[in-house]
Amino acid sequence: MIRLFVALPFPHSLRRRMAQICTGIDDARWVDEHNLHLTLRFIGEVPEDQGEDLAIALSSVRHPPFQLRLKGVGHFGSARGVRAVWVGIEPTPELGELRARIDATLLRAGLDPEHRKFHPHVTLAR
């Protein structure tokens, strides 16, 4: 089994700038600079052969380039139990369209639809 998600990588310069703010929280497990990304769809654990099939299906997804804008810093969880610290990404029609294309491709490939609301963000710490 392999754990999969679909994500957008960021340019090195932006990852470096985000990594520079990753300080000052005791017990935080900071995400390595090279692993900072925007998750578009979490898939979860699947057999390796299914993962290969999904990669082939997703390789056909195309979208013109578009701009993303960072929007604030926040966390998931409560004050007693923060699960993640993140930088938000402002939702845009282009981002929604790309995500819809990915979801449609994964649905055709046999995955269940995603029912959770999409909160575009970059996880900085867990």
Active site residue ranges: 37, 121
Rg from Cα positions in the chain: 16
Q: What is the SS3 assignment for 83-122? A: EEEEEEECCCHHHHHHHHHHHHHHHHCCCCCCCCCCCCEE
Eight-class DSSP state of 30? B
Of 66, 70, 75, nearest in space to 89 by CA = 70
